[in-house]
Amino acid sequence: MKLYDFKKLSQKLDFLNFPEVTESRFEIVRKDFSEEEKKGNITFKEDGIYLKINGVEHKGYMYIKVADVEQYDFPKFHISNCQTIIQQQNQNRFHGHYYWSNSNIVDVQQRGTSKIYKDVILSLCNYCRNAARITDYKNTQGFFDLLDIQDDEPINDAELDMFGYVKDWQEISKKFRIENEFTCNNCSIKIENKFDQRFIQVHHRNGNKLINKRENLQCLCTLCHSNIDERHTVNFQKKRSVHEIATFVEKYKDELINIGNPYVTKYLKK
């Protein structure tokens, strides 16, 4: 076994010296594609375009931010180097025009004006869809819903271990949630719908996200998780988490009330 991975080590040191990314993993919404590609942070995979930030890969898609919406309607989003993308590259309309995102909604600007269409759901490009044989979603909302959220607690960059151990987190978290049958240890809600299983999250009891032994882990629904202590309440005030809790409560309101979730009544009064 290799004891040291110098590449990861240097990434970590780079980060300590030059903290260029300050967003938490949950808030990454938009990055200039060409810039990231130049830095070697982009990887094309079958199911999406991955952006690496401080050693952790995030799945996303690319889209054009400024478009002639009035004439051509909203642009499509892409998950591969498809025919359209290659054409745009050949016509020098790629660099500086495309953005990477992993959000369910984006903002698009009308070309030639300052008009902004906010919170738009884009449709998947047909070439990309056919190439990857995508059948389970057709727009950015669907793409987002299928992201097996990466994951659970927002992890600060400072908490990444020097050898990138947190990279295994997604897998650990998934296994643990399967073991626990996607059931919240606190209010005991069980989520059967596979698209909603992201609402069940894995919490570190002692707060140390590098200790991933079973005794230190706990399965919690996102509502219980956000209420477990003050630090979590603050962490969960990030835009994406707030949206996620709202979606969860909206959809599972009746069940949460029925099983006596300790937070749902107060939440609904807000």
**Interacting residues toward Zn ion by CB under 5 A:** 78, 82, 84, 125, 127-128, 153, 184, 186-187, 203, 221, 224
Nearest distance from residue 28's CB to Zn ion, in Å? 20
Q: Give, for 240, the enclosing helix (H) or strand (E).
A: helix 239-258
Nearest distance from residue 87's CB to Zn ion, in Å? 10
Name the residue type at position 233.
T
What are the distances in angstroms from CA 256 to CA 62, 77, 148, 215, 263?
37, 36, 22, 26, 9
Q: How far is Cα 91 from Cα 75, in angstroms, rounded to an integer? A: 17
The torsion of the CA quartet 43, 47, 53, 55, rounded to 10 degrees, works out to: -80
Nearest distance from residue 126's CB to Zn ion, in Å? 8
Nearest distance from residue 82's CB to Zn ion, in Å? 3
* Beta strands 106-110; 66-67: pairing state: parallel
Q: Which residues contact 196 (CB under 8 A, 6 or more apart)?
A: 248, 251, 252
Q: How far is Cα 176 from Cα 188, in angstroms, rounded to an integer? A: 15
Q: How far is Cα 258 from Cα 252, in angstroms, rounded to an integer? A: 10
User: The tokens of 132 are what?
Assistant: 């990857």
User: The tokens of 25 are what?
Assistant: 């993993």
Nearest distance from residue 245's CB to Zn ion, in Å? 11
Nearest distance from residue 219's CB to Zn ion, in Å? 9
Residue 19 or 260 having the CB closest to Zn ion:
260
Q: How many CB atoms lie within 10 A of CB 235?
A: 17
Nearest distance from residue 225's CB to Zn ion, in Å? 6
